[in-house]
């Protein structure tokens, strides 16, 4: 018989991990020299590279690498001496090359932690969030879904794509499973 | 005026520099030759007469501006390179009519050198093929025998040279697509060291293997063009950050005295047509008579090269060609308001890609898919290491390696188009080169039953100049034997 | 024994977003089978200790400075678009989930 939410919470200890995507505030995109300024008119910050045009090639932003390493160090990670980009192949209109340049086997930062202090019923307590990995990838374009009732993808007639955001540097921070947080999970998340 | 088209690029450049003839006259002469012969040969997909004449006039006006040894000389550009505002189709329906908003770095360098681009040449679709029969726009015919293929994937560029439609051409080579067409058309083609020429603007087929390279009718012309297009490009992260080897000086020196030339046992004529093997042996004898030492070497892992290539290239292609999805450029079909984006993508890709491209995309997707990645793509990448080691071991004993470029002379149009594996065998001697990223040249070694045979030279990475030392020496002796370049023996075209 | 069936080819074609027609499916399965036979020799070539090579010439740390370079104009960016509206690329309704 199915349990109610209260029964589940009483019986089970949640074990959750987080995947956090952080947009870096570099001047230019991850793999090309287009500006990253927010709020520009559609498709005014694009080029053959971030549009995935035939023949275009990526060259990585040195500031993005530096920032990612700094984030990794702040999270007490090991910085890997040899890191590699990999292509995540799937089709979606907001991803011009239909692959995302990301990291798979050899992420730039691994095995870190973040100690977070939270007020509990027993006083101040320190939770250690373990970080699995920190890696670099590129953001996708922005879709505007037109014609549906809610403006969201479901029921839309067609979509309009703005690729200004495509290629902006993203850092993905992946935590290991954090257990034992119970009712403090929300407070913890806010601190992070 | 018609003998302008028979001249080499360096001869034309000298005449232009001395103001004995203008770039406009030279360009017009070649445009006329294209008009007269291309309904038969079909080397070109797009002829930019107006643009070419404008470029030529600029070249005439600004004679001293480029200080380039090819200033004002016309050239044919393989349609896989982006030329701003000019249709760039890669031989595919899916890019029919696409005009890039940017120039490939190679194109920028050509324009900066005052070279006049006549138009875009035919090719196997997305550079996949060995005969130019996979072009969505119809095959190109070999000027030596118009019932035969001009090679592929760069058959258009090679045929344009052999038909005297252009004295220079740019090709690209992933598994032999410059060298094999050069061999079967009696012209010269070079695949530079991987990273030697920028790939920015070269529509990617197999990113770790693709290279753009110079093509011409003489070794010296090829060297001059090589010098123009090679060099570091910050827009291509795989381009080599080092000076271009002095290929022009090497082509002029053309001296093999004291050089050690290795004949690769696994590529040395077994299973090759008799005439091909004979021309190869004669060329070796010539090089020996010129002071080179011929040594046999073995590269045992070369037998796995074809297999590794036909896993690596399709795998990379399946990813590179994913961008052709009807959303941002190119063909879109089926968008009648009732179909989803996914459906429109899938219908368009089925209609827009030809059979060979679909074959390779499926093969590549399969090889990269979960469960098969290690066995196929992973194993192929290990073979790459072994082949690179074989080359390194060979180069510890010799300065260059040599082989026949391709096992047969030009075959007939339609002869192999139904047997993919038979077609793939055309590249058996050229493929190991791309896997290891080393440099290679094909130049004419003679005729077999009236059809050209190519001699392949392979130099270590970044030692491209050695190709021109050996090629120049061989060419000089052979031209002396033939009383002129081989291309002067091409039968007159019977224009239908 | 065939390595790759018609169904498998159809499944992979779907992954690659290519809708193959019936007659293509039959031909392709056979051809790809033939090719796989020819290439699977690579599995015996190298032992576990041989490293994989993705790029023949070792180049490391090639980067570009974080300096803005002029972009294309929207007209240039959209110049090849099959459909566009208000400076955006117009695409048919997207059914799949956003990743």
Q: Please answer yes or no on whether B237 and A91 come within 8 Å at the CB atom.
A: no
B360-392 residues labelled b (16+ CB within 10 A) or e (exposed): bbbbbbbbbbeeeeeebbbbbbbbbbbbbebbe
The H or E element containing residue B316 is helix B305-320
Q: Which residue carries 């690596």 as its tokens?
A: B312
Q: Are A181 and A127 in contact (CB under 8 A)?
A: yes
Q: Please answer yes or no on whether B319 and A58 come within 8 Å at the CB atom.
A: no
Q: Are B286 and C18 in contact (CB under 8 A)?
A: no
Half-sphere exposure of A93 (CA within 13 A, CB side): 32
Give the Cα separation of B42 and B65 in Å (integer).
34
Q: How far apart are the first and last CA of chain B?
A: 23
> Is the backbone of residue A119 left (phi > 0), alpha (psi -120 to 50) or beta?
beta
pLDDT for res A123? 86
Q: Please answer yes or no on whether B237 and A60 come within 8 Å at the CB atom.
A: yes
Give the Cα separation of B471 and B190 in Å (integer).
10
Which C-chain residues 39-78 have CB contacts (< 8 A) with chain B?
A: 39-43, 45-46, 50-57, 59, 62, 64, 72, 76-77
- Give the residue from A26, A42, A43 with the most C CB atoms within 10 Å of its CB, the best one to mutate: A43
C-alpha distances (whole Å) from B43 to each of A83, B195, B406 are: 45, 28, 21
The reply to whether B101 touches chain A by the CB within 8 Å rule is: yes
Residue B115 CB contacts under 8 Å (≥ 6 apart), including other chains:
B68, B70, B71, B72, B73, B74, B75, B168, B228
Give the Cα separation of C57 and A159 in Å (integer).
43
Q: What is the mean pLDDT of residues B88-104?
A: 97
Per-residue pLDDT band at B182 (split at 50, 70, 90): very high
Q: At what angle do helices B23-41 and B155-162 cross, to 10 degrees?
A: 120
Determine which of B60-64, B130-134, B406-410, C70-74 has the lowest per-residue pLDDT on average.
B60-64
Q: Are B408 and B274 in contact (CB under 8 A)?
A: no
Q: Please answer yes or no on whether B82 and A57 come within 8 Å at the CB atom.
A: no
pLDDT for res B12? 98
pLDDT for res A185? 65
| pLDDT tens digits along B268-283 | 867 899 999 999 999 9
Give the Cα separation of A15 and B296 in Å (integer).
66
Q: Please answer yes or no on whether B385 and C51 come within 8 Å at the CB atom.
A: yes
C-alpha distances (whole Å) from B174 to each of B185, B264, B392 are: 19, 21, 20
Nearest CA in chain C to A147: C93
Phi, psi of B208 (to 5 degrees): -85, 0
- The whole-model pTM stands at 0.96
Helix (H, G, I), strand (E, B) or coil at A45: coil
Which chain C residues are closer than 8 Å to B376 by Cβ?
A: 39-40, 42-43
Q: Please answer yes or no on whether C63 and A48 come within 8 Å at the CB atom.
A: no
Name chain A's partners: 3 or more CB pairs within 8 A: B, C
Give the Cα separation of A185 and A177 in Å (integer).
12
Residue B23 CB contacts under 8 Å (≥ 6 apart), including other chains:
B16, B56, B57, B59, B60, B71, B72, B73, B74, B114, B116
B294-324 residues labelled b (16+ CB within 10 A) or e (exposed): eeebebebbebbbbbbbbbbbbbbbbbbbbb
Which chain C residues are closer than 8 Å to A47 by Cβ?
A: 69, 71-72, 77
Q: Please answer yes or no on whether B359 and C82 come within 8 Å at the CB atom.
A: no
Determine which of A174-188, B222-236, B371-385, B434-448 has the lowest per-residue pLDDT on average.
A174-188
C-alpha distances (whole Å) from B293 to each of B111, B289, B490 are: 41, 9, 33
pLDDT for res B490? 94
Burial status of residue B187 (CB atoms within 10 A of its CB: 0-12, 13-18, 19 or more) = buried
Which chain C residues are closer than 8 Å to A41 by Cβ?
A: 74, 87
Altogether, the residues listed in chain C come to a count of 99
The reply to whether A182 touches chain B by the CB within 8 Å rule is: no
Q: What is the mean pLDDT of residues B177-193?
A: 98
Q: Are A100 and A140 in contact (CB under 8 A)?
A: yes
- CB-defined contacts A:B, below 8 A: 73
Give the Cα separation of B142 and B409 in Å (integer).
11
- CB-defined contacts A:C, below 8 A: 107
- CB-defined contacts B:C, below 8 A: 190
Per-residue pLDDT band at B418 (split at 50, 70, 90): confident
Give the Cα separation of A32 and A23 in Å (integer).
16
| pLDDT tens digits along B324-352 | 999 999 999 999 989 999 999 999 999 99
pLDDT for res C99? 43
Give the Cα separation of B172 and B80 in Å (integer).
8
The reply to whether A40 touches chain B by the CB within 8 Å rule is: no
Q: Please answer yes or no on whether B307 and C40 come within 8 Å at the CB atom.
A: yes
Q: Are A55 and B200 in contact (CB under 8 A)?
A: yes
Give the Cα separation of C22 and A4 in Å (integer).
50
Nearest CA in chain C to A30: C66
Q: What is the mean pLDDT of residues B223-239?
A: 98
Catalytic positions of B? 78, 153, 177
CB atoms inside a 10 Å sphere around CB C32: 23
pLDDT for res A122? 83
CA triple B433-B208-B212, angle to 5 deg: 70
Judged against a pLDDT cut of 80, whether residue C96 lies above it is answered with no
Among A53, A87, A99, select the one facing B329 at the smallest CB separation.
A53
Q: Please answer yes or no on whether A28 and C87 come within 8 Å at the CB atom.
A: no
| pLDDT tens digits along B10-56 | 999 999 999 999 999 999 999 999 999 999 999 999 999 999 999 99
A76-104 residues labelled b (16+ CB within 10 A) or e (exposed): ebeebeebebbbebebbbbbbbbbbbbbe
The reply to whether C42 touches chain A by the CB within 8 Å rule is: no
**Nearest CA to CA, how far is B97 from chain C (Å)?**
9
Output the tens digit of pLDDT for each of chain A's 192 residues: 788 888 887 888 777 888 999 999 999 999 999 999 999 999 999 999 999 999 999 999 999 999 999 999 999 999 999 999 999 999 999 999 999 999 998 999 999 999 988 888 888 888 889 999 999 999 999 999 998 777 677 778 899 999 999 999 999 999 998 776 666 666 766 766
Helix (H, G, I), strand (E, B) or coil at B427: helix
Q: What is the mean pLDDT of residues B206-235?
A: 98
Judged against a pLDDT cut of 90, whether residue B450 lies above it is answered with yes
Judged against a pLDDT cut of 50, whether residue B1 lies above it is answered with no
Per-residue pLDDT band at B2 (split at 50, 70, 90): low
Which chain C residues are closer than 8 Å to B322 by Cβ?
A: 16-17
pLDDT for res A86? 94
User: How is residue A182 written in tokens?
Assistant: 């119970």
- Give the residue from A31, A33, A52, A57 with the most B CB atoms within 10 Å of its CB, the best one to mutate: A57
The reply to whether A43 touches chain C by the CB within 8 Å rule is: yes
Helix (H, G, I), strand (E, B) or coil at B442: strand
| pLDDT tens digits along B201-211 | 999 999 999 99
Give the Cα separation of A145 and A143 in Å (integer).
6
By C-alpha distance, which of A63, B174, B10 is closest to C66?
Answer: A63
Q: Please answer yes or no on whether A92 and C66 come within 8 Å at the CB atom.
A: no
Per-residue pLDDT band at C84 (split at 50, 70, 90): very high
pLDDT for res A3? 86
> Is the backbone of residue B104 left (phi > 0), alpha (psi -120 to 50) or beta?
beta
């Amino acid at each position: 018989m199915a349990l109610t939410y209260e029964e589940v919470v009483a019986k089970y200890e949640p074990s959750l991990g987080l995947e956090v995507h952080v947009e870096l505030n570099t001047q230019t995109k991850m793999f090309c020299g287009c500006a990253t300024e927010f709020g520009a008119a559609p498709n005014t910050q694009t080029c053959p590279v971030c549009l995935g045009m035939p023949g275009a090639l990526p060259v990585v932003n040195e500031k993005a690498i530096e920032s990612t390493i700094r984030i990794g160090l702040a999270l007490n990670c090991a910085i890997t001496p040899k890191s590699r980009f990999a292509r995540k192949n799937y089709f979606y209109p907001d991803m011009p090359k239909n692959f995302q340049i990301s990291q798979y086997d050899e992420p730039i930062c691994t095995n870190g932690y973040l100690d977070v202090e939270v007020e509990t019923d027993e006083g101040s307590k320190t939770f250690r969030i373990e970080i699995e990995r920190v890696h670099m990838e590129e953001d996708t374009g922005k879709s505007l879904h037109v014609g549906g009732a809610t403006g969201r993808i479901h029921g839309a007639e067609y979509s309009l794509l703005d690729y200004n955001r495509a290629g902006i540097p993203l850092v993905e921070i992946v935590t290991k499973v954090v257990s034992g947080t119970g009712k403090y999970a929300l407070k913890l998340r806010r601190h992070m | 005026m018609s003998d302008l088209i028979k001249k080499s690029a360096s001869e034309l450049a000298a005449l232009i520099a001395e103001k004995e003839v203008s770039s406009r006259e030279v360009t017009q002469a070649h445009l006329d030759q294209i008009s007269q012969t291309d309904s038969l040969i079909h080397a070109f997909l797009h002829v930019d007469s107006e643009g070419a004449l404008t470029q030529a006039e600029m070249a005439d006006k600004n004679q001293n501006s480029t200080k380039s040894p090819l200033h004002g000389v016309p050239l044919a550009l393989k349609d896989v390179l982006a030329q701003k505002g000019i249709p760039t189709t890669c031989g595919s329906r899916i890019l029919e009519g696409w005009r890039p908003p940017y120039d490939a770095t190679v194109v920028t360098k050509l324009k900066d050198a005052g070279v006049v681009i006549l138009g875009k040449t035919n090719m196997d679709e997305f550079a996949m093929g060995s005969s130019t029969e996979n072009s969505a726009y119809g095959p190109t015919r070999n000027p030596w025998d118009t019932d035969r293929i001009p090679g592929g994937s760069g058959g258009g560029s090679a045929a344009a040279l052999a038909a005297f439609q252009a004295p220079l051409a740019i090709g690209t080579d992933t598994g032999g697509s410059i060298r094999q067409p050069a061999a079967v058309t009696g012209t010269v083609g070079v695949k530079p060291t991987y990273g030697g020429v920028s790939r920015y603007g070269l529509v990617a087929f197999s990113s770790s293997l693709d290279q753009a390279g110079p093509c011409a009718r003489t070794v010296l012309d090829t060297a001059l063009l090589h010098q123009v297009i090679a060099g570091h490009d910050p827009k291509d992260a795989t381009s080599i950050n080092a000076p271009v080897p002095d290929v022009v000086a090497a082509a002029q020196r053309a001296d093999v005295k004291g050089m050690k030339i290795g004949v690769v046992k696994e590529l040395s004529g077994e299973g090759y047509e008799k005439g091909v093997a004979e021309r190869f042996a004669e060329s070796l004898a010539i090089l020996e008579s010129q002071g080179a030492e011929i040594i046999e070497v073995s590269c045992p892992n070369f037998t796995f090269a074809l297999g590794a290539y036909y896993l690596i290239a399709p795998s990379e292609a399946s990813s590179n060609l994913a961008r052709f999805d009807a959303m941002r450029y190119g063909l879109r079909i089926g968008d009648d308001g009732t179909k989803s984006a996914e459906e429109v993508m899938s219908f368009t890709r089925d209609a827009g890609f030809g059979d060979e491209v679909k074959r390779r995309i499926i093969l590549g997707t399969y090889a990269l898919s979960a469960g098969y990645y290690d066995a196929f793509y992973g194993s192929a990448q290990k073979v790459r290491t072994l082949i690179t080691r074989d080359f390194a071991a060979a180069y510890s004993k010799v300065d260059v390696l040599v082989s026949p470029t391709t096992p047969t002379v030009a075959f007939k149009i339609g002869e192999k188009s139904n047997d993919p594996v038979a077609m793939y065998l055309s590249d058996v001697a050229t493929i190991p080169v791309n896997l290891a990223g080393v440099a290679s040249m094909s130049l004419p070694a003679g005729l077999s039953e009236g059809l050209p045979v190519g001699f392949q030279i392979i130099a270590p990475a970044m030692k491209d100049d050695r190709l021109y030392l050996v090629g120049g020496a061989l060419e000089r002796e052979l031209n002396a034997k033939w009383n002129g370049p081989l291309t002067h023996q091409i039968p007159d075209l019977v224009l239908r | 024994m065939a390595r790759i069936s018609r169904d498998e080819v159809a499944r992979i074609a779907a992954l690659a977003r290519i809708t193959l027609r019936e007659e293509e499916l039959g031909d392709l399965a056979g051809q790809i089978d033939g090719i796989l036979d020819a290439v699977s020799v690579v599995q015996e070539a190298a032992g576990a200790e041989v490293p994989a090579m993705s790029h023949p010439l070792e180049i490391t740390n090639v980067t570009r400075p974080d300096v803005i370079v002029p972009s294309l104009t929207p007209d240039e960016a959209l110049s090849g678009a099959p459909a566009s509206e208000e400076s955006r690329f117009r695409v048919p309704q997207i059914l799949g989930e956003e990743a």
